[in-house]
Structure 1
Amino acid sequence: MGMGMTGDRPAYELVDMNKTGAGAVATAFANQVAYCAHAGAHITARVVAGIAAVLGSGAQGKLLARVRDWPGAPLADALPLRVAGGLHALHLSGTAPALAPIYHDESAQDEAIIAEVMAVHEAALLPWLDGPPQTNEAGRSANFIAAMLWLADQGVPARFDCLEIGSSAGINLMLDRYAYDLGGVRVGPADAVMHFAPAWQGTPPPGHDIAILSTKGCDIAPVDLTDPAQALRLKAYIWPEHTVRFERMDAAIRAASERKPDLVQASAADFVEAELARSQAPGTTRILMHSIVWQYVPADQQARVTAAMEAAGAKASPDAPLAWVMVEADRTIHRHKLTVRYWPGSGEEVQLAWSHPHGADVEWL
């Protein structure tokens, strides 16, 4: 997406996510500033704009050189958020007190502060370039629950075995421990760890009694919520404006400390192929689910996951159906959508809703 202005609201034009080469880094940073401003995240926009200003200056260093000479597609690789995450971690840990005025949204010389911090803490910041942002947002689980209610309404068994790819710390694998109010339809235990009531537009989802029998997930670099250092890394990727997300993260850490989610280290394709090869109990619905993950899955693995799901779908029965639930970005219009495919049946993709990426609101279709 490129940035234009409509009144004081950023507007977007379509930009190639996979653009590399000359100008791609500057485009990625400008896009991220526009996205943050559009999402009301003005502190994060300040940080990213400050980094961009340092990159555009004559400042030197190993970190700046790696960012300027990024070999891949900086937008698809979320390069601006890798650097911003590292700076936020320095702030959260108290390691770089000079950043405080920016994160407290006070008047400051952003470029000068960020330039100095990037130089002084270069060794600590460099590893943040080595992998994509790890975010995990419990609020997205409301979409998965809504999809299960819809599936139950289609007549599939309302007893679900859930598989998730790109689970990060497994926060959405604990979705059976949360409570939900979805347009007035309530789901979840009385002693829930967290409660979610997204702003609901449209008719409520169908009301059904559903049971989540199991959850299991994978990630190429799983995060252990019970390790303070790894938990700090996740918090660093939460934008500072999103205070409720910090509260949710703390609640998820407490839940994981009581009982860890079932999370394994594996690629998406290896995990899906192995799990689909296991026998499925009659009277259960097996679900593959993921949120804001697909863009990070390499194309060859996307193809393997799709092929495995379609092959398993061809063998699915009314007593042992298969479903694929996704909350992913439609980058042509910069919105996120909840879609479902299920078998037996056509296996065609059905869009159920437009969804906020952090679960704040749902427009049920």
Structure 2
Amino acid sequence: MPDANDLIAADVDLQGRACRKLGSPLYADLMAAAAAEAARGGIVAQILLPLAYEPAGSAITLRLFGAVHRLALTGAAPDLAAAYPSCGGDPTAMTANELWSAFENACRANESAITARLGQAPQTNEVGRGVALRGALDLAVGAARLPVRLVEIGASAGLNLLVDRFALRWPGGSRGPASSPVTLDDAWTGSIPDDVGLSIVERGGCDIHPLDATAPDDALTLQSFVWPDQRTRLDRLRGAIEIACTTTSSVKNQSADEFLAEIAPTSGIHTVVQHSVMWQYLPDDVRAAATGELERLTRTATPDAPVAHISLEPPRTADDADVDFRAARRHGGFIVSAGCAPYFDDHVVGYCPPHGPPAHWL
């Protein structure tokens, strides 16, 4: 059996490399130091030891760093907060050694509180993905132009059910309310989807671990998993939480297949099912059952009761017939798809980075 410290160090190192690639030099530097410390069996290895043999994809490093970020956000780790932009801090005011010492000391002083948070899988309910979902929604809804019932599987706290309340801006255009507390700049490139006068009359979703963005503790959880030097992402999240407090929607504690099984096409309503960066995490049996439910909805849709399916997901197989992989990599790597029964089948309509702007439309 591999050494636990080595496994932890490898996970932390891999996550740090991903953070650097995705625009978080603060976490990248901290994780490089944490990986070296974990290999020596220090506090990071001690805290993560119970999770050392968790399956790949369990995000044990992000669980730890999210728990520590939570401490900084609540004032329980003031020295670290002084370096975290999310808390009003400045990482350039510290040397690399000082930054690592602040993180290490926060871990040692709050080990029991951190350990208690490790069961929480990372959730950020990435609001930036709204640039992909809003455009796909406009493309799908344009086929029928009826009032929309928007439902989301794997919805987390349901913030992307509020996508029509976000302000999208790009050179030469905009969409959504200009006064929105969520502004998504440089939202779109390519063949901009038409404005179809979107009218959402019902919103709901499901998640196996739903959060309530209107509850202070859950709102703090969402913020803690945003990387602290990515202020734009955090500002979007905080703005979406503000909208959630004034908008009626609900997220059930339910699996995707069970939730979809309760939905049926409705006369005079355009049902839209959306999801983003969740499909690959479904167990095989749930994914198969959810696919069957989506096929049922498609078969039973009518012009008076259409059903759309929109998504932002990574490419699933190397032989996807309608994916231009070079274009996908050039525009962020993830695939935006849309279909609307009985009008047109699911197909690729654009590409987008995993955290959002810009979405590029075909």
**TM-score band (shorter)?**
0.7 to 0.9
Match of 1:139 in 2: 128
Match of 1:328 in 2: 313
Q: Is the 8 A contact 1:54 1:115 kept in 2?
A: no
Match of 2:228 in 1: 240
1:229-283: per-residue Cα shift (whole Å, max 9, x none)?
2211111111112212332233223223333432222222221212x2x4x3323
* Structure 1 residue matching 2:222: 3-state secondary structure: helix
Match of 1:299 in 2: 284
Alpha-carbon spacing, 1:56–1:62, altered in 2? closer, same or farther (3 Å) = closer
Alpha-carbon spacing, 1:114–1:28, altered in 2? closer, same or farther (3 Å) = same
Q: Is the 8 A contact 1:54 1:111 kept in 2?
A: no
Match of 1:65 in 2: 49
User: Following the alignment from structure 2 to structure 1, what is the Cα–Cα distance between the partners of residues 80 and 178?
Assistant: 42
1:213-236: per-residue Cα shift (whole Å, max 9, x none)?
211112222222232222111111
22, 27, 34: which is aligned to 2:17?
34
How far did 1:182 drift? Answer: 5.7
How far did 1:193 drift? Answer: 4.1
Within 5 A, what are the aligned runs for 1:1-365? 25-59=8-42, 62-67=46-51, 69-73=52-56, 76-100=57-81, 102-103=83-84, 104-105=90-91, 106-109=94-97, 110-153=99-142, 155-181=143-169, 184=172, 186-189=174-177, 191-274=179-262, 276=263, 278=264, 280-330=265-315, 335-344=333-342, 347=345, 349-365=346-362
* Structure 1 residue matching 2:124: 3-state secondary structure: coil
Uncovered stretches (5+) of structure 1, i.e. residues with no partner: 1-19
Alpha-carbon spacing, 1:189–1:341, altered in 2? closer, same or farther (3 Å) = same
How far did 1:355 drift? Answer: 1.0
Q: Which moved more, 1:194-203 or 1:211-220?
A: 194-203
Match of 2:324 in 1: none
Paired residue type of 1:97: P
Alpha-carbon spacing, 1:28–1:343, altered in 2? closer, same or farther (3 Å) = farther
How far did 1:187 drift? Answer: 3.3
Alpha-carbon spacing, 1:184–1:214, altered in 2? closer, same or farther (3 Å) = farther
User: Following the alignment from structure 1 to structure 2, what is the Cα–Cα distance between the partners of residues 200 and 255?
Assistant: 22
Q: Is the 8 A contact 1:218 1:263 kept in 2?
A: yes
User: Following the alignment from structure 1 to structure 2, what is the Cα–Cα distance between the partners of residues 253 and 125?
Assistant: 24
How far did 1:305 drift? Answer: 0.9
User: Following the alignment from structure 2 to structure 1, what is the Cα–Cα distance between the partners of residues 195 and 257?
Assistant: 33
Q: Is the 8 A contact 1:157 1:283 kept in 2?
A: no
How far did 1:158 drift? Answer: 4.3
1:51-102: per-residue Cα shift (whole Å, max 9, x none)?
32222113267523124x22322xx222221111111111111212342465
State the superposition RMSD in angstroms: 2.8
* Structure 2 residue matching 1:258: 3-state secondary structure: coil
User: Following the alignment from structure 2 to structure 1, what is the Cα–Cα distance between the partners of residues 344 and 165?
Assistant: 32
Alpha-carbon spacing, 1:179–1:96, altered in 2? closer, same or farther (3 Å) = closer
Match of 1:7 in 2: none
User: Following the alignment from structure 1 to structure 2, what is the Cα–Cα distance between the partners of residues 86 and 320?
Assistant: 45
Uncovered stretches (5+) of structure 2, i.e. residues with no partner: 85-89, 319-328
Paired residue type of 2:348: Q
Alpha-carbon spacing, 1:311–1:294, altered in 2? closer, same or farther (3 Å) = same
How far did 1:134 drift? Answer: 0.9
1:3-50: per-residue Cα shift (whole Å, max 9, x none)?
xxxxxxxxxxxxxxxxx9986544433332222111221012123223
Aligned residues: 338
User: Following the alignment from structure 1 to structure 2, what is the Cα–Cα distance between the partners of residues 43 and 231?
Assistant: 23
Share of identical aligned residues, percent?
30
User: Following the alignment from structure 2 to structure 1, what is the Cα–Cα distance between the partners of residues 334 and 189?
Assistant: 15
Paired residue type of 2:304: D
Q: Is the 8 A contact 2:131 2:358 kept in 1?
A: no
